[in-house]
Amino acid sequence: MSLRKLLIANRGEIAVRIMRTARAMGIATVAVYSEADAHALHVETADEAWPIGPAPARESYLKIDAIIAAAKASGADAIHPGYGFLSENAAFGEACAEASITFVGPPASAIRAMGSKSAAKALMEKAGVPLVPGYHGEDQDPALLAAEAARIGYPVLIKASAGGGGKGMKVVASAGEFADALASAQREARNAFGDDRVLIEKYLTRPRHIEVQVFADSHGNAVYLNERDCSIQRRHQKVVEEAPAPGLSPERRAAMGQAAVDAARAVGYVGAGTVEFIAEGEDFFFMEMNTRLQVEHPVTEAITGQDLVEWQLRVARGERLPLTQADVPLEGAAIEVRLYAEDPQKDFLPQVGRLDHLRLPDDLPGVRVDTGVRAGDSVSIHYDPMIAKIIARGADRAEAVGRLAAALAATEVVGLPTNRAFLAAIANHPAFTAADLDTGFIGRFGADLLPAPEPLDDRTLALAALSILLEEARVSATATDPADPFSPWGLAPGWRLNRAAHVDLTFSDGGARLVVRAHYRARGFALDLPGGTLEVEGRLEADGTMEARLAGVKLRARVVRSGMKLTVFAGGTERLIEFVDPRRASIDATGTAGRLVAPMPGTVIRVAVEPGQSVQKGAALVVVEAMKMEHTVTAPRDGTVARVLFAAGDLVDEGAELLVLEEAG
């Protein structure tokens, strides 16, 4: 079967990731996009891209006919659904078949068979796969369900049969709470899935979530590619995933792997799938099968050296599995975390907004980053607020953990709160390092993982002040008119020429005002900080990194400006502080030498005066926005505006003359 052109019916990191493999295999890529994603990374990455509708997913990424139409119009011969959206929708698979387009996924019958947790359990029971003690019958009479809960023994877990994403799931501690919990689970299930059927399971109190990656081809071959441990969860949702599962013996790996392959065979599976087990002690029980590629598949790729998307595309082409069971490698260890736009201080509320600054650690050894966004992109209300997956691998788990911690320390996001510090706290937690994993981890160590915001320390303040001083110095140095390097005016924009012996920088930290007095030294500055005076110097690199020396101690940092907010990244921590004083003094100095010039390349956002107008010293003349900060150019002396050289909206180069002011009298 030929596969020349692949449409990816998804967005974000998974769409980009699938395109990477397709391209490597010589397969052309077609993106689809909603109105919200017109300039998204997955659109930019694809060879071609087709609009499929408005921003809400149900009007675009969930719209089967729009996607099939795009596939036909573009001449794609296959569709990869990624995960989420239509990936586990049997009707979508069938619609592809009808249109003679290959669906990169299992047969619709297998998706249906595993689509209901209850029906899947009944099937697995027959196939001899171990199940958690529980009830998964058709009869939904509340009295019968209550009796079943009592028979199973409390605590029990009520789950929506159609469930996913933890919706419709309720832990019930005792018989007295059962009726209310059932009603609430049914309500959630009805709202989320339009189906209020539930099943009941024994609730295991300290289990691990261990899942097995399986693969089957259309020639009857099926293998497992080892397991992933996804025990670090919050509200039954995965936060950290790793492979292999720490402490799993080869015998148990083989037993779980075989059970997973049996599960796949029982439903005539083809393609990539994941069989999820819940494990406690030596026991493991089938929970469900996800009939798609999983978010956390990169950890499996890291320890097997295989590209699972390549496997999927080969199987879709009708090829045999690339490896037999005995040849599936397991080397080293890998851990993935999901970096989300969410606020851990506000109960992990998802956040929307613009990513003003984004630096992901994809240049570190052993680190892989999968992302669908760039700096400047927005996280919208319409889709999952995941920013990136960060995957660290190592020769062993300890090395992977160390690299993960380093990767998280090097991750910088400005514009939106994220769970970065929370993930870093997990990676650095002694219990995590010791692989003491179970699904209660986050609940148990919550207090350690959500440290209170740190008070502002002198180091952070010094770095913030230094960045402003260095930026000013940079502007001053480069503002010299290259056509006339000896012109006295060329030096004028810099306050250094006329500088005072010191300058005061004002910051605001949660309402509290802090003034840092900076004294100019031959090299660098002496900063008067709350804790005393600190000699500082540094260099700003082109990429915004700052190499700083604080009392002789060298360190690397970055200070990112977003409006008047400064985010100081140093030593794996980040701290927000507001800059209050926009250095009026330096802008004033701009004018003292006679020319009123733009302090930086930027945009004129307001011209406050007209030609012929007389102004007094200190009056605002022009406002230039540069580096997301507003700079007001003020009159250096009393005078009359002779000419205005730019209008609002104009772009200006650094050093460009903005207006001409004639001296009074």
**Which residues form the interface with ligand ADP (CB under 6 A)?**
132, 157, 159, 163-166, 169, 201-204, 207, 209, 233, 236, 276, 278, 287-288, 439
**β-pair partners for 103:** 79
Question: How far apart (Å, rounded) are the C-alpha atoms in residues 643 and 613?
Answer: 10
Quote the tokens at residue 382: 């319409």
- Hey, is 466 helix, strand or coil? helix
Choice between 132 and 577, CB closer to ligand ADP? 132
Choice between 350 and 353, CB closer to ligand ADP? 350
Choice between 386 and 661, CB closer to ligand ADP? 386
Residue 34, CA distances (Å) to 43, 51, 216, 243 in order: 10, 6, 33, 34
In one-letter notation, the amino acid at residue 447 is A
Burial of 282 (0-12, 13-18, 19+ CB in 10 A): exposed
Work out how close the CB of 280 gets to ligand ADP at its nearest, in angstroms, rounded to a whole number. Answer: 8
Which residue is it, tokens 């150019």?
633
Classify the phi-psi angles of 13: left when phi > 0, otherwise alpha if psi is within -120 to 50, otherwise beta: alpha
DSSP 501-525: SEEEEEEEETTEEEEEEEEE-SSSE
Work out how close the CB of 247 gets to ligand ADP at its nearest, in angstroms, rounded to a whole number. Answer: 18
Question: How far apart (Å, rounded) are the C-alpha atoms in residues 538 and 548?
Answer: 4
Tally of residues, the chain: 665
Choice between 166 and 350, CB closer to ligand ADP? 166
Question: How far apart (Å, rounded) are the C-alpha atoms in residues 42 and 26?
Answer: 18
Work out how close the CB of 287 gets to ligand ADP at its nearest, in angstroms, rounded to a whole number. Answer: 5
Choice between 342 and 471, CB closer to ligand ADP? 342
Choice between 42 and 170, CB closer to ligand ADP? 170
Strand arrangement, sheet containing 5-8: 48-53, 28-34, 5-8, 78-80, 102-103
Q: Is 292 a catalytic residue?
A: yes
Given 292, 359, 561, 575, the catalytic residue: 292
Establish whether the linkage from the previous residue to 329 is cis, with ω within 30° of 0: no
Choice between 161 and 590, CB closer to ligand ADP? 161
Work out how close the CB of 160 gets to ligand ADP at its nearest, in angstroms, rounded to a whole number. Answer: 7
The answer to whether 162 and 193 are in contact (CB under 8 A) is: yes
The answer to whether 481 and 489 are in contact (CB under 8 A) is: yes
Work out how close the CB of 236 gets to ligand ADP at its nearest, in angstroms, rounded to a whole number. Answer: 4
Other beta carbons less than 10 A from residue 435's beta carbon: 16
Work out how close the CB of 300 gets to ligand ADP at its nearest, in angstroms, rounded to a whole number. Answer: 17
CA atoms lying within 13 Å on the CB side of residue 277: 31
Work out how close the CB of 108 gets to ligand ADP at its nearest, in angstroms, rounded to a whole number. Answer: 20
The answer to whether 285 and 203 are in contact (CB under 8 A) is: no
Burial call 80-103: b when 16+ CB within 10 Å, e when fewer: bbbbbbbbbbbebbbbbeeeebbb
Work out how close the CB of 20 gets to ligand ADP at its nearest, in angstroms, rounded to a whole number. Answer: 27
Strand arrangement, sheet containing 134-135: 134-135, 198-202, 156-160, 170-172
Work out how close the CB of 248 gets to ligand ADP at its nearest, in angstroms, rounded to a whole number. Answer: 16
The answer to whether 633 and 622 are in contact (CB under 8 A) is: yes
Choice between 416 and 442, CB closer to ligand ADP? 442
The answer to whether 358 and 387 are in contact (CB under 8 A) is: yes
Choice between 52 and 335, CB closer to ligand ADP? 335
Which residues form the catalytic set? 292
